[in-house]
């Protein structure tokens, strides 16, 4: 009899303890739901997933000033712009307003009449070209027009026979000139892999003397090839200009019928500023 009494006491006590444990657990869980504690920071994030990094400030935006280095031919010199600014000076003005910080033309190595091989020869002779590019934030480049058109020389040699504009000479010169353009791009990229490099594409300066537009495919082929070359480097951009001069050519060319005038250069600078915006 006594043993049965103790057995029931043990069973009742165990039941009471279990009931109290359940009540405690329920209360603890409710407290965590109503009053949750902040979770400890976890670099790995939920379920072990890496947390997204805060976007890094663009190095261009972080700079206190922007330095431009320009090189190439007479377009980068600004031939035909009576103000003397050319597209380089006009780009500087637009960027300074656009970025709200000082923009300087650190060096302009362009020389009128230069072809691709002239630029490469000049680079070898002047050590400060590579050094200046290494310190640049923006590199502006025009080259290739003189390689193809030779200032308009031999592409008009058949005009006396009635054949008019003949772009074959330009097409024949293109393969070797593109190889040299590739070399120029590679040198710039090695001198400064972080600078933004804008190569100004070619337009057709003799479009109004070429009613059959036989020269248009030559220029387009050059620009496409330049794009393919530039696409090898993440910071290179080809600036299209063909459309800027296609309509109203005489309105945007200088009296020499080859170089842009101040309005033409302003259009090129506007296109560059738009790309860099």
Element (H, E) at 200: strand 196-200
Answer yes or no: are the C-beta atoms of 216 and 222 closer than 8 Å: no
Beta bridge partners of 238: 199
Structure confidence by residue, pLDDT tens digits, 58-100: 578 889 999 999 999 999 999 999 999 999 999 999 999 999 9
Query: Cα separation of 196 and 198, whole Å?
Result: 7
Structure confidence by residue, pLDDT tens digits, 43-62: 333 333 333 343 344 578 88
- The fold for domain 64-276 equals Rossmann fold (3.40.50)
Residue 20: CB partners within 8 Å, gap ≥ 6?
none
In angstroms and rounded to an integer, the radius of gyration of the C-alpha atoms of the chain is 35
Q: What is the mean pLDDT of residues 154-179?
A: 74
Query: Cα separation of 187 and 123, whole Å?
Result: 9
| Residue 213 confidence (pLDDT) | 85
Mean pLDDT over the full length of the chain? 82
Vertex 39: Cα angle to 36 and 42 (nearest 5) = 165
Structure confidence by residue, pLDDT tens digits, 168-178: 888 999 999 99
**Per-domain boundaries in the chain:** 2-37, 64-276
């Amino acid at each position: 009899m006594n043993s049965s009494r103790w057995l029931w006491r043990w069973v009742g006590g165990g039941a009471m303890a279990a009931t109290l444990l359940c009540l405690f657990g329920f209360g603890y869980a409710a407290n965590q739901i109503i009053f949750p504690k902040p979770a400890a920071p976890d670099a790995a994030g939920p379920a072990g997933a890496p947390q997204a990094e805060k976007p890094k400030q663009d190095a261009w935006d972080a700079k206190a000033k922007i330095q431009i280095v320009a090189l190439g031919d007479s377009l980068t010199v600004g031939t035909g712009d009576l103000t003397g600014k050319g597209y380089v000076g006009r780009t500087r003005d637009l960027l300074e307003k656009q970025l709200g910080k000082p923009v300087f033309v650190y060096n302009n190595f362009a020389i009128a009449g230069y072809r691709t091989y002239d630029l490469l020869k000049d680079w070898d002779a002047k050590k400060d070209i590579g050094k200046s590019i290494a310190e640049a934030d923006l590199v502006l480049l025009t080259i290739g027009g003189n390689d193809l058109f030779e200032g308009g020389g031999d592409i008009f040699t058949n005009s006396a026979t009635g054949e008019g504009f003949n772009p074959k000479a330009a097409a024949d010169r293109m393969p070797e000139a593109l190889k040299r353009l590739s070399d120029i791009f590679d040198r710039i990229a090695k001198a400064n892999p972080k600078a933004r490099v804008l190569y100004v594409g070619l337009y057709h300066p003799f479009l109004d003397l070429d009613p059959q537009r036989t020269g248009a495919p030559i220029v387009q082929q050059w620009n496409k090839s330049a794009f393919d070359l530039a696409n090898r480097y993440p910071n290179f951009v080809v600036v299209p200009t063909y459309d800027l001069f296609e309509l109203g050519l005489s309105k945007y060319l200088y009296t020499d019928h080859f170089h842009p005038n101040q309005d033409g250069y302003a259009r090129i600078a506007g296109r560059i500023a738009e790309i860099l915006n």
